[in-house]
Amino acid sequence: MSVFIIRRLMQSIAVLFVTAVVVFLGVYAIGDPVEMLISPDASPAERAQVIASLGLDRPMWQQFLTFLWNAVHGDLGRSFVFNRPTISLILERLPATLELTLTALVIALAIGIPLGLISGLKPNSATDEAIMTGSILGFSLPSFWQGMMLIMIFSIWLGWLPSTGRGELGSFLGIQSSFFTLDGLTHLILPAINLSLFKLSLVIRLTRTGVRETMPLDFVKFARAKGISERRIVFVHVLKNILIPLVTVIGMELGSMLAFAVVTETIFAWPGIGKLLIDSIMRLDRPVVVAYLLVIVSLFILINFVVDILYSLIDPRVRLGEQS
């Protein structure tokens, strides 16, 4: 176990370093922030002074080393635009995104697994066809279009749910979240559904495929031959086997949900890190973009770690530290 954690940590550091290099170079390619930050009628002396204060006059490798040195010390730079540490900008908004993503994940699993089971146990029935058709829609309609439709139906026509912002925040155990007020929850519903629809379709399909592949296996028949009830066969024997592929894919998708939150956050004006990213790219606020990407990569690493632990809990054949 400890070998596993140490090896993991070293891998993570390597991944973060490579990400830092790639991101730093990449962000350099997206334009010169000076043009955006300094008014066109500033004198050349003022200009030079601003450039020097931002450290943009030095060669790129020097800027990178400075960045790296600071990053190792927990300082991911200051935003050009807000003139505040990027990390606090991001941490301020991360809860909103996590809240959205986790709610979407819970929706996807809580609805997707039962629907997938129903579909898989009665393949080609009318119910199955209906569920599959729904999941094809969830897959193929673009997320932004689904979001706009949700707003149109539930906010504009029916007027049931708000369509922008995070609503009132409540505080519980020192955590600020829209989970804790009714207003916050109503604000959360539409964006969370929007973000979950694609994953929901995915979970349905994975579960259905899993059921269809597992049901004909010998161990299911053997369980029946023991006289085990059909309910226990489905919810213990089959479901536990399906969890293995489900956890794999969900782990990967959770990361992509954090990233895809960009679209949803933009549509619903959700004050999360996705919106911060878009704003920062528009304003060429390089340090924020770099810090954002590093935070996302760290989250990916963390999620993968949790997934591997879950694996070893679900599947006795997997032992931590033995996989390559």
Partner 1 sequence: MTQPVLEVTNLSTHFPTRRGVIKAVDEVSFTVGQREIVGLVGESGSGKSITGFSVLGLVDPPGRVVSGSIRFQGEELTQLPQKAMRAIRGKRIAMIFQDPMMTLNPVLSIGTQMVEAVLAHDRVSRTEARNRARDALGMVGIPSPEERLDAYPHQFSGGMRQRVAIAIALLHRPDLIIADEPTTALDVTIQSQILYEIKRLAQEFSMALVWISHDLGVVAALADRVLVMYAGRIVEAGPVEDVLSQPAHPYTLGLMQAIPSAVPRGEPLRPIPGMAPSPLARPSGCSFRDRCQRATEICSAEPRLDILADREWRCFHPNEGRAA
3-state secondary structure of 53: helix
Both tokens of 200, joined, read 């929901």
Per-residue x/- track, 77-116, partner 1 (CB under 8 A): ----------------------------------------
Total number of residues that touch partner 1 (CB under 8 A): 23
Contact 273, 94 (CB under 8 A): yes
Q: Which residues contact 47 (CB under 8 A, 6 or more apart)?
A: 34, 38
Identify the H or E element spanning 176.
Answer: strand 175-177
Distance of closest approach, residue 29 Cβ to partner 1, in angstroms:
48
Q: What is the number of other CB atoms lying within 10 angstroms of the CB of residue 189? A: 16
CB of 227 to partner 1, least distance (A): 4
- Residue ranges in 207-236 that form contacts with partner 1 under rule CB under 8 A: 216-219, 221-229, 232, 236
Per-residue x/- mask for partner 1, residues 290 to 319, rule CB under 8 A? Answer: ------------------------xxxx--
**What does the alpha-carbon distance between residue 301 and residue 87 come to, in Å, rounded to a whole number?**
18
Residue 243 beta carbon to partner 1: minimum distance, rounded to whole angstroms = 8
Query: How many angstroms separate the CA atoms of 54 and 77, rounded?
Result: 10
Distance in Å, CB of 156 to partner 1, minimum? 48
Binding to partner 1 by residue 189, rule CB under 8 A?
no
| Residue with smaller CB distance to partner 1, 114 or 123 | 123
For partner 1, which is the closer residue by CB, 172 or 219?
Answer: 219
Q: Which of 94, 244, 278, 281 binds partner 1 (CB under 8 A)?
A: 244
> What does each C-alpha distance from 134 to 147, 179, 254, 294 come to in angstroms?
16, 28, 22, 36
Least distance to partner 1, CB of residue 142, Å: 37
* Residues written for the chain: 324
Which one-letter amino acid corresponds to residue 235? Answer: F
Which residue's CB is nearer to partner 1, number 73 or number 231?
A: 231
| In the complex, least distance from residue 251 CB atom to partner 1, rounded to whole angstroms | 18
C-beta closer to partner 1: residue 84 or 232? 232
Q: Among residues 69 and 222, whose Cβ is nearest to partner 1?
A: 222
> Six-digit token pair at 171?
């505080």
Structure tokens at 79: 């935003």
Q: How far is CA 228 from CA 9, 30, 211, 216, 243, in A?
A: 44, 62, 17, 16, 21
The residue (of 109 and 215) whose beta carbon lies closer to partner 1 is: 215
Q: Which of residues 24-83 bind partner 1 (CB under 8 A)?
A: none
Q: How far is the CB of 203 from partner 1 (least distance, A)?
A: 19
Whose Cβ is closer to partner 1: residue 186's or residue 209's? 209
The CB-of-127 to partner 1 minimum distance in angstroms stands at 17
Helix 182-214 and helix 143-150, axial crossing angle in degrees, nearest 10: 130
- Residue 17 CA to residue 256 CA, distance in Å, equals 21
Contact predicate 290/281, CB 8 Å: no
User: Mapping DSSP to helix (H, G, I), strand (E, B) and coil, where does residue 85 land?
Assistant: strand
**Considering the rule CB under 8 A, would residue 237 count as an interface residue with partner 1?**
yes
What residue ranges bind partner 1 (CB under 8 A)? 216-219, 221-229, 232, 236-237, 240-241, 244, 314-317
